[in-house]
A and B are shown apart, each in its own frame.
Chain A
């Protein structure tokens, strides 16, 4: 699952076309597009819009397991040329000074840069950094539900002291993103291949759902069951070893005890 957050629809058009995304049906406070495992939300401009959009997608996907997050958009920069794309390796919220460091451990093969999130359009470009209006809020919201390695922000330079922000048009924004689609595609592919094994490792045992229908498990017992099944799977593979076959048991309690006993007697071999 990859959730893309953009502020403006013109930052999204290329992606919608490229990934053949469809509008998500139903009543939503944001425009949302979807294609397979990719969801895109158009948040609107500013920190509170970005945080709200992330929160909304989090709520929609509560049951869907771990996700990766990608904020895509335009940004001003003191020094970089127009059209340059980069990943943010340091995001600072100018209003409160809070600084975030999205870990750069996945092999993105992209240049990276500092990014300052401002509340009003930056026209002075005071620091050797990029400037946007969403990333800090997006990031701090997204890391509530995902590990930071899977929360990234990618920006394309749209303005700098030589080409001020006032010159930006909707078509220009679209072109900027379109020209960087190869980079964005790679970025999404990298996130995808990193999140896939992560999701698999954390997925519940294939028999979990069937087992909880079979007997009554309390919430604590469900957690125990999840853990015991996972450990059993690691040591014995699938299906469950014969002593843990469900037909031999009459309740959740006896089943959990058998699973646990099976693990006690196991000797690791290399």
Chain B
């Protein structure tokens, strides 16, 4: 469980019951008041890598941009795709994660005014009329990783249950599924789980629960009727990637029922160059970034021929287990969760 170094609390939200609950759970920590979370989160002279060792939790209220259009190519590829972020940053520490390059601080910012998010999501759904709409909750964080404090599922699962024309995707690497299992499976809520080969995970996905814990959790969810999706994003190029990804798929599909999956996706390593440069500055000793990267339209990427080769190989291996209809390539410039 994350051991926060401190709690920062915006004065305007201290009185909220959700905040009071968290304060009680973290009584032993310093409680530091601030006016706006940006005072703590945004200053320049901060080091994400140092902070990642013991981040603080910042409790804040969001005032605008509750719901944003999903970046082109993100998610199932449908129109009316949106994302919302109740949480910035996540307790896991994946070296390829773009958050390290995007934010100056590794502190978690939890926006506690879920009711305002709910209002804006409702308005967005209404604007879509009869058309289905899609909401992604794991773009700036891991949807479930701080669940013990955020209780995100308790608010948003019942909320989406009441709007069947909308679909919610929770994206997570967590194996803590109690918060989901205590609710009845909701048809329009998809739990997207990201997996990487064991070796990649060990080297690059620090603090992420082991494959065996996560696949066991996935199986329980599937048995409880939850609709699962699998995400292989980003595909990480390395010497043994062919056998490693084949093994990974074989292990997953020997446990999960592929016919019940909502979708499966792959995504290439693509990161805005500015984020990439920031990450290299933070981790000059990281082998993942020491090799060669190309630049394609402002994104740092593997060389084109490597991308083509990897996609071809991984897709062929995947289609041994899943129908093409549930597969898509994620085409954004950023990977989280």
Q: Which stretch of A18-26, A34-42, A98-106 is in the interface? A: A98-106
> What is the bound-complex CA distance between A146 and B50, given in angstroms?
12
Complex Cα distance A104/B105, Å? 12
Q: Is B215 an interface residue (CB 8 A)?
A: no
Q: How far is the CA of A101 from the CA of B45 in the complex (A)?
A: 11
Q: Is B18 an interface residue (CB 8 A)?
A: no
Per-residue contact bits, chain B 23-62, to A (CB 8 Å; 1 contact, 0 not): 0000000101111000110010111001101111000000
A266 touches B292 (CB 8 A): yes
What's the least CB distance linking A182 to chain B, in Å? 21
Q: List chain B residues, Cβ under 8 A from A266.
A: 290-292
| SS class, residues of chain A in contact with chain B | mixed
Complex CA distance for A266 and B290, rounded to whole angstroms: 9
Task: Give chain A nearest CB distance to B78 CB in angstroms.
Answer: 35
In chain A, positions 252-270 with a C-beta closer than 8 Å to chain B are: 260, 263-264, 266-270
Which chain B residues numbered 266 to 298 have a C-beta less than 8 Å away from chain A?
284-292
B-facing residues in A71-107 (Cβ within 8 Å): 89-90, 99-101, 103-107
- Assess the B285–A234 pair: CB atoms within 8 A: yes
Are A263's CB and B291's CB within 8 A? yes
Is A43 positioned at the interface, with any CB of B under 8 Å from its CB? no
Report yes or no: B47 in contact with A147, Cβ–Cβ below 8 A: yes
Q: How large is the interface on A (under 10, 10 to 19, 20 to 34, 35 or more residues)?
A: 35 or more
Known: A201-B285, A268-B239. A89 touches B30 (CB 8 A): yes
B32 engages A147 (CB within 8 Å)? no
Cβ contacts under 8 Å, B285 to chain A: 201, 230, 234
* Least Cβ–Cβ distance between B296 and chain A, in angstroms: 16
**A105, B53: Cβ atoms closer than 8 Å:** yes
A201 to B284 CA separation, bound complex (whole angstroms):
7
What residues of A have a CB within 8 angstroms of the CB of B288 in the complex? 268
Residue B180 CB within 8 A of the other chain: no
Which residues of the partner chain B approach A100 to less than 8 Å between Cβ atoms? 43
Interface stretch of the complex, out of B84-92, B159-167, B196-204? B196-204
A147, B46: Cβ atoms closer than 8 Å: yes
Q: Are A90 and B33 in contact (CB under 8 A)?
A: yes
Interface string of B111-131 (1 = CB under 8 A from A): 000000000000000000000
Q: Cβ of A194 < 8 Å from any Cβ of B?
A: yes
> In chain A, residues 168-212, which have Cβ atoms closer than 8 Å to a Cβ of chain B?
194, 198, 201-202
Shortest CB–CB separation between residue B228 and chain A, in angstroms?
27
Q: A89-B6, A202-B284 are in contact. Are A101 and B50 (CB under 8 A)?
A: no
Query: Is A216's CB within 8 Å of the partner chain B?
Result: no
Using A147-B45, A148-B45, A268-B237 as known contacts, say yes or no to A101 and B32 having CB atoms under 8 A apart. Answer: yes
Q: CA of A155 to CA of B105 in the docked complex: distance in angstroms?
A: 26
Neighbouring B residues of A150 by C-beta, 8 Å: 50
Assess whether B325 is interfacial by the CB under 8 Å rule: no
> In the complex the two chains form, is A149's CB within 8 Å of B46's CB?
yes
- Contact, CB under 8 Å: A101 / B240: no
Cβ contact within 8 Å between B238 and A267: yes
Give the dominant DSSP class at B's interface: loop
Q: Are B239 and A267 in contact (CB under 8 A)?
A: yes
- Minimum Cβ distance to chain B for residue A97 (Å): 10
Return the chain B residue nearest A267 by Cβ: B239
Q: How far is the CB of A150 from chain B (nearest CB, A)?
A: 8
Cβ of B34: which chain A residues have Cβ within 8 Å of it? 90, 99, 101
- Taking the closest CB of chain A, its distance from the CB of B11, in whole angstroms, is 12
- Judging by beta carbons under 8 Å apart, are B287 and A101 in contact? no
Q: Quick check: B290 and A104 within 8 Å, CB to CB?
A: no
B69 to chain A, nearest CB (A): 33
Q: A105-B54, A144-B45, A148-B45 are in contact. Are A263 and B284 (CB under 8 A)?
A: no
Query: A123 contacts the other chain (Cβ, under 8 Å)?
Result: no
> Who on chain A is nearest to B292 by CB?
A264
Does A14 lie at the interface of the complex (its beta carbon under 8 Å from any beta carbon of B)?
Answer: no
List the A side residues contacting B179 at CB < 8 Å: none
A49 within 8 A of B: no
Which B residues are in CB contact (< 8 Å) with A230? 284-285, 290
Contact residues in A for B284 (Cβ distance below 8 Å): 201-202, 230, 234
Complex Cα–Cα for A269 and B290 (A): 12
B32 partner, pick from A89, A194, A264, beta carbons under 8 A: A89
The interface residues of chain B lying within 8 Å CB-to-CB of A198 are: 50
Asked if A270 contacts B200 (CB within 8 A), the reply is yes
Chain A residues near B8: list those with CB within 8 A.
Answer: 101
Bound complex: CA A258 to CA B67 (Å): 49
A164: min CB distance to chain B, Å: 27
Contacts A264-B292, A268-B287 given; does A105 touch B238 at CB 8 Å: no
Closest to B105 in A: A103
Check B5 for interface membership: any CB of A closer than 8 A: yes
Complexed CA–CA distance, A137 and B269 (Å):
43
Sampled A-B contacts (18; CB under 8 Å): A101-B43, A103-B5, A104-B5, A104-B6, A104-B30, A104-B54, A104-B56, A106-B50, A106-B54, A107-B54, A235-B287, A263-B291, A267-B238, A268-B239, A268-B287, A269-B240, A270-B238, A270-B239
Nearest 8 A/B pairs, CB to CB:
A270-B199, A269-B239, A143-B45, A231-B290, A234-B290, A147-B47, A264-B292, A149-B50
Which residues does A use to contact B, with CB under 8 Å?
89-90, 99-101, 103-107, 112, 114, 143-144, 146-151, 194, 198, 201-202, 230-232, 234-235, 260, 263-264, 266-270
Given contacts A260-B292, A264-B292, A270-B238, 9 further A-B contacts (CB under 8 A): A89-B30, A103-B51, A103-B56, A105-B5, A149-B47, A230-B284, A234-B285, A235-B291, A263-B291
